[in-house]
Amino acid sequence: MSQSTIYVSLDIGSSSVKVLIGEVDGGSLHVIGVGNVQSAGIRKGTIIDIDATVQSIRKAVEQAERMTGMQIREVILGIPANGVLLQDVKGVVAVNSENREITDDDLDRVMKSAQVMSVPPEREIVNIIPKQFIVDDYDEIKDPRGMIGVRLEMDGTLITTSKTLVHNILRCVERAGLVIREIYLQPLAAGTFALTDDEMNHGTAFIDIGGGSTTIAIFGDNRFVSTAVIPVGGDHITKDLSIILKTPTEHARKIKHQYGHAFYDDASDDELFEVPVIGADSKDQYSQRYISEIIGVRLEELFDLVLEELYRMGIHDLPGGVVLTGGTTKLDGILQLARHVLKTRVRIHTPEYIGVREPMYSTAVGLIRYASMEDSYFGITAESQTAVAHSEMDYPSPAKKKVAAKPKEKKTSFMSKTKKFFDGFFE
Ligand SMILES: Nc1ncnc2c1ncn2[C@@H]1O[C@H](COP(=O)(O)OP(=O)(O)OP(=O)(O)O)[C@@H](O)[C@H]1O
Ligand SMILES: [Mg+2]
């Protein structure tokens, strides 16, 4: 009988905090709990108010818990791509066992040896992604375990970020009473599962247009190549609408969601809607076409910034085109506008799971799938998962105390690698 595993992901966005509880059975994911609350204390992926952020995280966690009757203890956390650096690294070890068969232990050691390089004191390792393993003179190996050899090498990409940024995020998560099981760079986790094999291989820009920021991630040759963040997102559109229509932000957001259109030519001029005016008893009337001009100008500027950033990154050709995701891609007409400005093939990615069929959930879904993929690669089994407690069954305590049980470590599991990153974080 196959055993399912529960994963909980946490995406602390500048617009909303998302918490997903997912059950992974074999290869398939079922989202069984969702928490989504407007965030406070986060701007452009950076924490500006710890207490407000902690409150938002708690609320989102409670929402997801209520849906399932489970108690969340451990989360898979997404780290934003602001200030991220990617560098090529190499690890080399001698195969340990007498019969020269490569084991989990050798894999663990070669990955660690690739990280034993000088990371500046102000930077923190987020992830290491293997590109290939080399066993003696044979390269391009995906999984060396079980092979026979003397020398094991690994070429990989090391992702580092600002220590201050990541520590503040971790502090908030910890203060919200959660244990971090794993961290992944957000666009790495989201893009890996949003792109098709061909897109991944040919060279594609995966672009997440969120609330406070837009994250570009380039994938090609089946790997994550580079990333950049533009500090502009859907909340700028809301602000533009609020200022130009002289209406409160909350109304501007509602109007954007209900009537918003990004492509002037396709926006409707027939129907008028009423908008309350700040400081007046009156209401003004506008058409979708009128507001599409305001939205279009901001988004056109954003896509121009994307082009500039791609140029700066040295990307001149994207045979796989562009894949858009993030809450802002819900806007009607955004696809037409993106195609018009970016002059390439563009599609929108939406996760195909019941309960989270919205482009704003791409990151939270990607985090669960990435963790599940790594668990099966590193051989972490269902018994070692402690993401949630079934409050009624396992922990009948009325005092709803969070049980922050540490995951059982397998002898040479990936967890030991991860633990290393967090050692000394909260001293
Ligand atoms: N139906 C809709 N139409 C237009 N915009 C929408 C719609 N639904 C959500 N949005 C916008 O999407 C944005 C939020 O997207 P998302 O949840 O992906 O951002 P985030 O992850 O919180 O922020 P970030 O990634 O920038 O930190 C907000 O600006 C919101 O107004
Ligand atoms: Mg986001």
232-261 pLDDT, tens digit each: 999 999 999 999 999 999 999 999 999 999
Beta strand 151-162 with 179-185 is unpaired
Among 9, 10, 14, 15, which is best to mutate for testing ligand 1, by the most ligand atoms less than 8 A from CB?
A: 15
Q: For residues 382 and 284, which has the higher predicted lDDT (pLDDT)?
A: 284
pLDDT at 383: 52
Average pLDDT over residues 77-81: 96
Model confidence over 29-47: pLDDT tens digits?
Answer: 999 999 999 999 988 778 8
Answer yes or no: are the C-beta atoms of 219 and 425 closer than 8 Å: no
How many Å lie between the centroid of ligand 2 and the Cα of residue 138?
40
Helices (H), 270-361: 288-312, 334-342
Q: For residues 312 and 409, which has the higher predicted lDDT (pLDDT)?
A: 312
Which residues lie closer than 8 Å to 28 by C-beta, 6 or more apart? none
The closest ligand to the CA of 257 turns out to be 1
Model confidence over 139-174: pLDDT tens digits?
Answer: 999 999 999 999 999 999 999 999 999 999 999 999
Answer yes or no: are the C-beta atoms of 324 and 347 closer than 8 Å: yes
pLDDT at 419: 37
Q: Which atom of ligand 1 is nearest to the CA of 256?
A: 4
Q: Which atom of ligand 1 is nearest to the CA of 15?
A: 22
Using the 8-state DSSP alphabet, how is residue 405 labeled? P
How many Å lie between the centroid of ligand 1 and the Cα of residue 234?
6
Task: Kindly report the pTM of this predicted structure.
Answer: 0.91
pLDDT at 9: 98
Answer yes or no: are the C-beta atoms of 85 and 123 closer than 8 Å: yes
Rounded Cα distance between 252 and 245, Å, is 8
pLDDT at 46: 83
Answer yes or no: are the C-beta atoms of 261 and 270 closer than 8 Å: no
pLDDT at 361: 98
pLDDT at 391: 47
Using the 8-state DSSP alphabet, how is residue 149 labeled? -
Average pLDDT over residues 108-118: 88
Predicted confidence (pLDDT) at residue 368 exceeds the cutoff of 70: yes
Average per-residue pLDDT for the chain: 89
Answer yes or no: are the C-beta atoms of 230 and 302 closer than 8 Å: yes
Predicted confidence (pLDDT) at residue 117 exceeds the cutoff of 90: no
Give the model's confidence band at 345: pLDDT under 50 very low, under 70 low, under 90 confident, else very high. very high
Among 325, 330, 334, 365, which is best to mutate for testing ligand 1, by the most ligand atoms less than 8 A from CB?
A: 330
In this structure, the chain runs to a length of 427
Among 82, 292, 328, which is best to mutate for testing ligand 1, by the most ligand atoms less than 8 A from CB?
A: 328
Predicted confidence (pLDDT) at residue 379 exceeds the cutoff of 80: no
pLDDT at 406: 35
pLDDT at 421: 40
Average pLDDT over residues 199-224: 97
Predicted confidence (pLDDT) at residue 283 exceeds the cutoff of 70: yes
Q: For residues 12 and 388, which has the higher predicted lDDT (pLDDT)?
A: 12
pLDDT at 412: 35
Beta strand 85-94 with 46-47 is unpaired
What's the half-sphere exposure (Cβ side, CA atoms, 13 Å) at 340?
Answer: 16
Answer yes or no: are the C-beta atoms of 417 and 410 closer than 8 Å: no
How many Å lie between the centroid of ligand 1 and the Cα of residue 311?
26
Closest residue CA from atom 21 of ligand 1: 13
How many Å lie between the centroid of ligand 2 and the Cα of residue 363?
7
Predicted confidence (pLDDT) at residue 90 exceeds the cutoff of 60: yes
Answer yes or no: are the C-beta atoms of 11 and 367 closer than 8 Å: yes
Residue 25 phi, psi (nearest 5): -125, 115
pLDDT at 81: 96
Average pLDDT over residues 115-136: 91
